[in-house]
Structure 1
C-alpha cells in the first residue's frame, strides 16, 4: 500500500510551472514584457497606488530589483510614479491606459493557456486539484510560521 508521503509530487509541480511559464512567455512575447514586468504590471493594475516596497513584498522580490522593473515599465509607458501625499520621499505606482489594454490581452492569453492546459480535465477534477494544492500551500506556510520564532530567537 502506498502512503501519501511516498508520492513524490514536487518535481511534477515544478515541471508544470516551468511549462506553463514557457508557453505563456511564447504567447506573450509580442508585448515585449518580461515575466517580472508583466507580474508587476498586473499587480499594480489590481492594486493601484502601491509603494515600491509594498510591490516588492507582493512580488517576493528585492526592492532594488523592483525599482529596475518599474524604471523600464515607466520608460515604456506602462507605469507612472506619483508623489505620495503622506510622504514626500515616497512614490505611489499606477498603471497607465496603455497598460490596461495590455493587461486585458495578457489575461486572454492566460485564459487560453488554461483552456489548452486543462484539455480532458473536468471542472470537478480541476476544483479538487485546486483544493488539494491550496491545502499543501497552507501546510507549507504553517511550517514557515512555526519556524519563524526559532529563527528570530537565534538572532
Structure 2
C-alpha cells in the first residue's frame, strides 16, 4: 500500500486543528486566534508579517486577527524599536490564563491521539517528523531547490 507522507501530515494537521478548535471553543478565541496567541507566546516581539508567515495567512488577515485580539486585551502592539513602521506583538497579562488553558487542551488532545502508541513509538514518530521538518526548514533557509529522485 502506497502512502503519501506529506498528505498524511497535512491531513493530520487539519484534523488536529479541527478537533482542537472544538475542544478550545470555551476558551474564547477562534481557532485562528488561538494559533496566533500561541505563536506570539513562543516568539514575543514578533511582527505582524512574521506572524502571518507562521500562520500561513495573508498579512491583512493577520492584521485583522491582531486587531481582534488587541480589542479583547489579549495582545498588545508596541512600536518595533528597529523599524518604526512595524509593530512588535506581545501577550498581555490577561492572555496568560487563556494560553495556559489552550496549552493544557492541546496536551490532553495529543495524549488522547497518541494513546494507542507506545512511548517508544511516540518518541520515534516525533524524532522522524522533526527530521523531515528540519530538512525542509534548512532547505528554505539556504534557498535550496528540492532534490529530484527517480525510482
State how far apart, in whole Å, the 2-side matches of 1:127 and 1:112 are.
17
Matched, 1:133 2:129: yes
State how far apart, in whole Å, the 2-side matches of 1:13 and 1:85 are.
38
- Counterpart position of 2:98: 102
What is the aligned counterpart of 1:54 among 26, 50, 56?
A: 50
Question: Cα–Cα, structure 1 residues 88 and 8, in superposed 2: closer, same or farther, change >3 Å?
Answer: closer
State how far apart, in whole Å, the 1-side matches of 2:98 and 2:77 are.
19
Aligned residues: 144
> 1:130, CA displacement in angstroms?
1.6
Higher helix share: 1
State how far apart, in whole Å, the 2-side matches of 1:28 and 1:66 are.
20
Structure 1 segments, 4+ long, off by >4 Å, are 138-144
Q: Which residues of structure 2 form unaligned runs of 5+?
A: 147-151
Q: Which protein shows a greater Rg?
A: 1
- Counterpart position of 1:88: 84
> 1:116, CA displacement in angstroms?
0.7
* TM-score when normalising by structure 1: 0.78
Question: Cα–Cα, structure 1 residues 146 and 92, in superposed 2: closer, same or farther, change >3 Å?
Answer: closer
Structure 2 counterpart SS, 1:121:
coil
State how far apart, in whole Å, the 2-side matches of 1:52 and 1:119 are.
36
Task: Kindly report the root-mean-square deviation, in angstroms, between the aligned alpha carbons of the 2 structures.
Answer: 2.4
> 1:142, CA displacement in angstroms?
6.4
* TM-score when normalising by structure 2: 0.80
Question: Cα–Cα, structure 1 residues 118 and 67, in superposed 2: closer, same or farther, change >3 Å?
Answer: same
Farther off after superposition, 16-25 or 51-60: 51-60
> 1:143, CA displacement in angstroms?
6.5
